[in-house]
Structure formats: structure tokens, C-alpha cells
């Protein structure tokens, strides 16, 4: 019997052979990947990029001030619209717009002639009624004598006594009228209520001024001393209250809008009595001496930058601001290894800053070296080549400005504090 084989029938392969091929494939892929990585590293080494060029700076120990910075508004302690207290024509304007005036200084004159005549009339009425009272007193004295002799009726004596009382009341009213007339005459000279700078005039000679005029005669603001109002986050209330209650005082500096030029030095005064729930802040005031022939450097309603010293941290580690970076680990720095050929990522807790340096509350010790520039692309354990020593602001030659660029540490870091 002859067996015929179909050449198209499928052939069975042993199962162990399939398993062997899978294992060999996995091993081959692993070997190829390892070879590719090592080959890439060798290529990078041949191209001159075995390590990143960085600049470093030492971790110093220094005193770091803790300050509160805010935008404030210059607010005069006193501000008043000066109104005339009587009606009349403006006789004279006796001030120069924008000048400093003193308490009691006459700034305007209302026509005094009607009020002089009113005073003279009140005095004449007083003199007349005093004469009448004098005659009534003489009559009363006579009636009392006659009554003691039982020469007149008792009713006549009582009537005269009532007449004297009426005349005395009339004289008292006349004296009050004289006082009112004298006061009105004094009011014709409009005086400054306190020392300060006077604004633009709102009246001219010949204007009929009344107490109800909205704009008055002019506005006076007290300029020395003067307050600045600003807001403070509620989280800082406890520290400020503690420092303010120690009796040491909290110095406050007013800076121009550029935040650099100092205008005046003052001290913290007080907080408002409640927190603004919409912003989570509380209003605060600081008082400043503001002397000067032209009213000082602080001007009412001027916007200024405020820097208030709350306390000072003594002998804390400080590094350049550009050394502190931010990413997935949090705030961190790259610390140079003792061999100076690699870096270690160290998570730190940052404190206050003066703009160039930043205090490190935990994570670093004095004497360590941190990467101040060139940290872009670095990771924990990266090889580096020190190209220069960074200064207070991260100065140095290698790597460019690394303080505000994306860094390593899982590719999510950015520099600066």
C-alpha cells in the first residue's frame, strides 16, 4: 500500500521551539536597548558633552530681614474743606494756592461792614436796657424804703421787683446779642484750623459766600506728620502683633513707585478692627514725619510701595535666588558633591528674600556649594563640570542664567525664588 503525502498540508512544530524563540526575542531586545544607550552615551562623550557646565555659589550664613511688602496710599491725618460760617461778599483772598499755612492764619476776609454795624446796634441796645435796669433798681430801693414805713401798698413793691427782674433778663439777652455780633464779626476773618497745605481756591474776590457752599473756600490737608494706609494678609497678623507688642517698634519704609527710591521712614501705627472677608486682608496704618518747605515728599493720595520690617533671622543659611528651583519635589537646590563632578538634588524650605539672596530654613548647611547657574536639564546625580563661581546673584560664566528656566528633576522644575 502506497502512502501519498500532501505537500500543502501544515507541518506541526514542537511547542518548546516556540517558547525558545520568544525568550530569545526578549533577550535580544534588552541587549539592543542596552547597546543603544551605551552607544548614545559614547557619542555624547565624543561630542564633548559628558557633563553639564555649571556655576556654583557657597552657602553662606547671614542675617536676613523678614519684611512685609505692600502697596499703600498716602492719607492725611486731617483734611478739611474750609467754609465761611457767615454769609457775605468775599472781601479778600489772603493765601497763595498750594502753600503751607499755619493754624489761625487768615486765609480769606468776608466783608465785615454789616457785622460791625450789627455789633454797634447790639451794644447800643445793651446800653439802653442797662440804663432802664438802673432806673428800675433805684425805684425798687425807694419802694423798699417806703414799704418799711408802711407808706405804699405791698403790691406796688412786688410789681417793681418783677420789673427789675424783667430788665435784668433783657440786659442778659442784650449781652448775648453783643457776643453773637462780636463772634460774627470775628467770623469775617476765615482762619486755617490747623497747619497744612492749602489747595486751589474755590472763590474769588466779590463772590457771595455762604456756609452751605459745597466747595467752600479751599481745602486744607495736614502734611506733617502724615499716614500711609496699606493692607496686610491675615496670615501675618500674629507675627506683626507679636513684634509690635514687644515695644521694639516696627520700622516702615515708603518707596517710590519704582520700589527702589526711599521717600520717608516711619513706624507702624495700628490695624483696623476687622478683616476684609472678600480679600482675607486687614487694613493697617503707618505714620511718617513729612517735613519740608513744600510739604515733604509724601503727597496725599499718592501711591507708594511699603516695606515693613517685622523681625530679623540671625545666622541663617543663604544662597543666591537663582539657586532655588521649583518642581515636582517642591523647592530644591542642586548641591555639588565633594568630588565636584556631580550634583545631588536636595529639597529645601525657603524663607524670606532680599531680592538677591534667599534664606534656607532647612536642608542646607554653611559651606556647601550649590549650583547657581546652568541647572537646566540637571537631575539627581547628574555629572557636572564647574565652570565658575557664582556670586550673590548667581554670577558666573557657565550655563547662562539658569534661575528662571526649566530644570531637571522629572522635567518639571523652574528656577528662581
Q: What is the 3-state secondary structure (H, E, C) of the chain?
A: CCCCCCCCCCCCCCHHHHHHHHHHHHHHHHHHHHHHHHHHHHHHHHCCCCCEEEEEEECEEEEEEEEEEEEEEEECCCEEEECCCCCEEEEEECCCCCCEECCCCEEEEECCHHHHHHHHHHHHHHHHHHHHHHHHHHHHHHHHHHHHCCCCCHHHHHHHHHHHHHHHHHHHHHHHHHHHHHHHHHHCEEECCCCEEECCCCCCCCCEECCCCCCCCEEEECCCCEEEEEEEEHHHHHHHHHHHHCCCCCEEEEECCCCCCEEEEEEEEEECCCCECCCCEEEEEEEECCCCCCCCCCCCCCEEEEEEEEEEEEEEEEEEHHHCEEECCEEEEEEECCCCCEEEEEECEEEEECCCEEEEEECCCCCCEEEEECCCCCCCCCEEEEEEECCCCCCCCCCCCCCCCEECCCCCEEECC
- Whether 395 has a pLDDT exceeding 80, the answer reads no
- Whether 402 has a pLDDT exceeding 60, the answer reads no
Does 52-64+314-415 carry CATH code 3.40.50.300? no
Q: How far is CA 68 from the centre of its chain?
A: 9
Q: What's the rounded mean pLDDT across residues 279-295?
A: 85
Give strand pairing partners of 228.
74, 286
- pLDDT number for residue 237: 85
Q: Which residue has the cell 542642586?
A: 334
Task: Indicate the fold that domain 68-77+222-313 takes in CATH.
Answer: Elongation Factor Tu (Ef-tu); domain 3 (2.40.30)
- pLDDT number for residue 340: 84
Residue with the larger pLDDT of the pair 412 and 328: 328
Is the separation of the CB atoms in 219 and 98 below 8 Å?
A: no
Give strand pairing partners of 265.
253
C-alpha cell at 87: 454769609
- pLDDT number for residue 12: 55
Residue with the larger pLDDT of the pair 182 and 8: 182
Instruction: Write out pLDDT tens, residues 97-119.
Output: 989 999 999 999 999 999 999 99
Instruction: Write out pLDDT tens, residues 68-101.
Output: 888 999 999 999 999 999 999 999 999 999 899 9
Give the start-to-end residue ranges of the domains of the chain: 52-64+314-415, 68-77+222-313, 83-220
Angle at which helices 154-187 and 113-148 cross, to 10°: 160
pTM for the predicted model, two decimal places: 0.63
- pLDDT number for residue 413: 42
- Whether 410 has a pLDDT exceeding 60, the answer reads no
Task: Indicate the fold that domain 83-220 takes in CATH.
Answer: OB fold (Dihydrolipoamide Acetyltransferase, E2P) (2.40.50)
- Whether 259 has a pLDDT exceeding 60, the answer reads yes
Is the separation of the CB atoms in 40 and 33 below 8 Å?
A: no
Range with top average pLDDT, 38-42, 189-193, 374-378: 189-193
- pLDDT number for residue 415: 43
How many other C-beta atoms lie within 10 A of the C-beta of residue 141? 12
- Whether 388 has a pLDDT exceeding 60, the answer reads no
Instruction: Please tell me the total number of residues recorded for the chain in this structure.
Output: 417
Amino acid at each position: 500500500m502506497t502512502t501519498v503525502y500532501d505537500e500543502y498540508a501544515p507541518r506541526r512544530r514542537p511547542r518548546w521551539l516556540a517558547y525558545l524563540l520568544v525568550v530569545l526575542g526578549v533577550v535580544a531586545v534588552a541587549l539592543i536597548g542596552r547597546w543603544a544607550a551605551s552607544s548614545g552615551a559614547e557619542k555624547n562623550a565624543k561630542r564633548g558633552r559628558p557633563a553639564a557646565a555649571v556655576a556654583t555659589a557657597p552657602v553662606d550664613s547671614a542675617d536676613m530681614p523678614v519684611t512685609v511688602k505692600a502697596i499703600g496710599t498716602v492719607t492725611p491725618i486731617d483734611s478739611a474743606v474750609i467754609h465761611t460760617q457767615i454769609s457775605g461778599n468775599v472781601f479778600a483772598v489772603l493765601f497763595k494756592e498750594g502753600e503751607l499755612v499755619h493754624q489761625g492764619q487768615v486765609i480769606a476776609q468776608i466783608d465785615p461792614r454789616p457785622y460791625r454795624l450789627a455789633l454797634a446796634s447790639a451794644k447800643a441796645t445793651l446800653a439802653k436796657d442797662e440804663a432802664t435796669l438802673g432806673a428800675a433798681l433805684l425805684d425798687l430801693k425807694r419802694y423798699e424804703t417806703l414799704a418799711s414805713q408802711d407808706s405804699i401798698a405791698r403790691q406796688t413793691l412786688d410789681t417793681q421787683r418783677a420789673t427789675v427782674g424783667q430788665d435784668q433778663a433783657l440786659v442778659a439777652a442784650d449781652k448775648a446779642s453783643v457776643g453773637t455780633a462780636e463772634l460774627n464779626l470775628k467770623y469775617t476773618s476765615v482762619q486755617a484750623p490747623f497747619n497744612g497745605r492749602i489747595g486751589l481756591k474755590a472763590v474769588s474776590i466779590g463772590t457771595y459766600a455762604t456756609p452751605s457752599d459745597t466747595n467752600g473756600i479751599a481745602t486744607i490737608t495736614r502734611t506733617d506728620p502724615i499716614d500711609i494706609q496699606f493692607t496686610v494678609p491675615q496670615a501675618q497678623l500674629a507675627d506683626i502683633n507679636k513684634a509690635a507688642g514687644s515695644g521694639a517698634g516696627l520700622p516702615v519704609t515708603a518707596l517710590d513707585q519704582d520700589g527702589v527710591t526711599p521717600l520717608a521712614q516711619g513706624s507702624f501705627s495700628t490695624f483696623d478692627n476687622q478683616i476684609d472677608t472678600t480679600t482675607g486682608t486687614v487694613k493697617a496704618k503707618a505714620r511718617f514725619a513729612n517735613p519740608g518747605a513744600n510739604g515733604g515728599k509724601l503727597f496725599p493720595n499718592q501711591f507708594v510701595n511699603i516695606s515693613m520690617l517685622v523681625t530679623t533671622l540671625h545666622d541663617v543659611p543663604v544662597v543666591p535666588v537663582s539657586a532655588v528651583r521649583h518642581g515636582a519635589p517642591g523647592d530644591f537646590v542642586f548641591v555639588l558633591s565633594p568630588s565636584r563632578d556631580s550634583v545631588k538634588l536636595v529639597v529645601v524650605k525657603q524663607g524670606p528674600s532680599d531680592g538677591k539672596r534667599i534664606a534656607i530654613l532647612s536642608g542646607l548647611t554653611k559651606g556647601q556649594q550649590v549650583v547657581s547657574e546652568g541647572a537646566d536639564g540637571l537631575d539627581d546625580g547628574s555629572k557636572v563640570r564647574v565652570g565658575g563661581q557664582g556670586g550673590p546673584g548667581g554670577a558666573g560664566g557657565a550655563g547662562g542664567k539658569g534661575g528662571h528656566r526649566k530644570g531637571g528633576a522629572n522635567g518639571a522644575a523652574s528656577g528662581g525664588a
